[in-house]
Amino acid sequence: MLKNNTKDLMERILYLSEKNLKNNKIPIAAIVVDSKTDKIISEAVNGDSVLDHAELLALNEALLKLSTNRLDKYDIYVSIEPCPMCATAIAKTHIRRLYFGAEDKKGGGVINGPKIYSHSNLKIPEVISHCYAEETGNLLKKFFESKRN
């Protein structure tokens, strides 16, 4: 069972993801929050470039705002299981905890694919998966169905 603040933050993820879907973009969003206060430090959605992943954009914004290179007192919330690139960035920035919605069986890098956090040379965040998985998964399904039609 998710805590109320986790629900609120995942609902923010859903809102941002739906907004991106309405703009005909992949419905992926990320939020970096202070782990003690749940105050949102940064938020982002996937952009047009193949490198504009929501996680990377949100992490970079948080690093700049906080004038640091470590986010060990912060958590990240994401629509979908991060890809290997984003999972590595999350580890490299020392994020404390990762929350994500739907699994990404094809492109994921945490519980699917290369399982980035199985490598001992990384600072591994605590992972809480399948938060609002059905809702985030449905948004992704809608997006890819619209691309096929």
- The contacts of residue 95 (CB under 8 Å, 6+ apart) are 32, 59, 71, 72, 74, 75, 76, 125
Query: Nearest CA to 136 among 2, 20, 1?
Result: 20
Q: Which residues are part of the catalytic machinery?
A: 55
Number of H helices, E strands in the chain: 4, 5
Q: Is the dihedral of CA 28, 29, 35, 38 positive or negative?
A: negative
